[in-house]
Structures are given as C-alpha cells and as structure tokens.
Amino acid sequence: MDSSKRADAILDNLLSLQTESLALVAVYDEDDVLRYANKSFRAAYHLTPDEQLSWGDIMRRNFLAGVGTVLKTADFEEWLRSTQSRRGKTAFRSFETDLADGRWLWMTETVQSNGWMLCIASDITPLRADDRWLRQDRDLALRASQTDELTGIANRRFIMTRLEALAGKTPAPGIDIGCIAVLDIDYFKSINDRYGHQSGDVVLLDFARHGHSFVRRLDCFGRIGGEEFMFILPDTNIENGLAILERVFSKIRTSRPLPSYPEVSYTCSAGMTALKPGDTAQDAFARADKGLYQAKLDGRDRIVAI
C-alpha cells in the first residue's frame, strides 16, 4: 500500500472510531456553530444527524426542553452571556458537567488559533459523588472569580489576564497581534443622579448585552470597573477593530433601556490601540485609556485610535 492510500485508510478508520465512540466528540467553527458531532454527542444533546446549530441555540433549546446539560439558573440569557464571556478564550480548558439523564461528564475544549474548537467529553459517572461535588464547587468558585457580578460578563481579573496573554504573543509574519478598546458610558453619573442607581444598573446591563453580541470566538469583552468596559480583539488590525466598534456604537445609540423612561437614550466613548511587539499589557491599556480621555475631551460619543 502506498503512503497516500495508507494515509487515507488511517483517516477513514479515525473518523469511523470517532463516529462510533462512546466518548462525546464535537467540533465548532470560529462562530461557535457545530460542524461535526459523533453519535454519542448528538444523543446527549438531542441533535438530529444533520443539525448544525450554534452552541448557544443548542443550549437554549435543551434548557427549554429540560434535557442536555443541567443549568441551575432562572435567567438563561444571563447565564449564556456569562458563559460565552469565557468559552473559547483560552487554548485549552477542562471542566465537569452533569446531564439531565443523570450522567456526569469530564469535558475538554481545545481551541485553534483560527477559533475552531474541539470538544471531547468522557462519562465519569462512576467516580465517587462526594469528590464530584467538591470539584464542581471548585469550578463554580473559579467561574465566580472571573465574572462581573452585575452584568455576568468577564470581570477585570479575567480581561486583564487575557490582555497579558495577548501582549505576550509573538505574532507570525504579516499577522497583527490584535487591538484593544477601552469604553466608557457617557454621562453615566447623571443617569444615576436623575433616575436612580437601579436605573443605572439597567443601563450597565443593557450596554453589556449589546457589547457582548459583537464578540467573536477569540475576542474578549468585560467590565473593568464602574461604567468602564474593555474589548480585546486578537489577530485584528486597527481598521477592522474600528469597524467592529462602530457597529457597537450604532447599536447603543438606538437603545432605550429604561421602560419607565422610553425617551432616555445613552452613548459611549472609546479609545482604541493596536498592540505592538514588545508592548506590555499596561503599555497597551495606557494608550487605549489615553484615547478614551481624548474622546471625552472631543465631545464624547466617538472613538479615538492611538
């Protein structure tokens, strides 16, 4: 058998083994749409043989039907936003999850530099239950330490860790390291003063929801304090980064987040910068923050790139 035929035979056997394996195997693309799943995965998450849904749509449908992953939340959309803030942002992670059918899974996620993700899960139900609950408590504590309590998106600790990781990358020739943006809600104090802090919280939640809707697989979006947020856009040049932010700004300008005050709108300002070889996280943050300050001076509701 020549080498090409042998390679084809190996590939055919590998695909056959994955298809019939009791382990759950799935592949998602850079937009988090399911592109491959074996029989075990599709059975666990109640997918037909040809369905290619987004991960969010799979989780939403299963949550409403009471199948698939057990989700202990009264607000699915808030849970989804919070989970997507961390999902796929690191090259590898592992965690435990339980299914509505009583099984307990050990799940791993491996993410390529292009955003494609390989998920593999093994059934660990026979392991001691008390050990499983201890590990789940650990995972919940870790999740809480990385999540902003009010908005459910990534917090300052998580977002700054991702920025440090991006600043430490050595880019391939011709590839941009990425860019970051620091955003601030305009005149936020006046919203709190006039309509109350509860209304201010609603505006923060609205901003987080809209901002999160533009996040791609490898991007990060988080609240870094008060009314200030950050986008991290890996492998993105400043022109494309500005285009993404302009879409965020357009969405925010049309938002009316306070049902009791339908006339109330709000805007935001931002500073953006591209990471340069040799930058530290603080170098990049300082430049973006300087751009934000200039955007405020120039009249707000605008982006200044530095």
How do residues 11-57 score in pLDDT, each as one tens digit? 666 777 777 789 999 999 999 999 999 999 999 999 999 999 999 99
- From the candidates 51, 109, 227, 246, give the one annotated as an active-site residue: 227
Q: 156-305: what fold? A: Alpha-Beta Plaits (3.30.70)
Burial of 101 (0-12, 13-18, 19+ CB in 10 A): exposed
Is 164 among the residues known to form the active site? no
Distance CA 183, CA 61 (A): 33
User: Does the pLDDT at position 114 exceed 80?
Assistant: yes
Distance CA 266, CA 300 (A): 11
User: Does the pLDDT at position 242 exceed 80?
Assistant: yes
40-49, 70-79, 121-130, 279-288 — which is least confidently predicted?
121-130
User: Does the pLDDT at position 7 exceed 90?
Assistant: no
Q: What is the pLDDT of residue 126?
A: 82
Distance CA 230, CA 159 (A): 8
Q: What is the pLDDT of residue 175?
A: 82
The percent of residues in the chain predicted with pLDDT above 90, rounded, is 79
Q: What is the pLDDT of residue 1?
A: 57
Mean pLDDT of the 228-249 span: 96
Distance CA 18, CA 142 (A): 31
Distance CA 135, CA 131 (A): 6
Rg of the chain over all Cα atoms, to the nearest angstrom: 22
pLDDT band at 129 (very low <50, low <70, confident <90, very high): low
112-116, 229-233, 269-273, 287-291 — which is least confidently predicted?
112-116
Closest among 78, 41, 303, 118 to 212, alpha carbons compared? 78
User: 175 in the Ramachandran plot: left (φ > 0), alpha (ψ -120 to 50) or beta?
Assistant: beta
pLDDT digits 0-9 by tens, 224-234: 999 999 999 99
Q: Are 275 and 162 in contact (CB under 8 A)?
A: no
| CATH classification number, 3-145, choose in 3.40.50.720, 3.40.640.10, 3.30.450.20, 3.30.420.140 | 3.30.450.20
Residues of the chain with CATH 3.30.450.20: 3-145
Vertex 159 angle, CA 239 and 220, to 5°: 45
Distance CA 42, CA 19 (A): 10
User: Does the pLDDT at position 272 exceed 70?
Assistant: yes
Q: In the chain, what are the helix, strand and coil shares in percent, each to the nearest 5?
A: 40, 20, 35
pLDDT band at 169 (very low <50, low <70, confident <90, very high): confident
Coil, strand or helix: which one is 272? strand
Closest among 221, 192, 193, 190 to 207, alpha carbons compared? 221
Q: Is the pTM of this model over 0.85?
A: no
Q: What is the pLDDT of residue 238?
A: 96
Distance CA 168, CA 187 (A): 35
Task: Name the pairing type of β-strands 228-234 and 220-225.
Answer: antiparallel
Distance CA 263, CA 154 (A): 30
Residues of the chain with CATH 3.30.70.270: 156-305
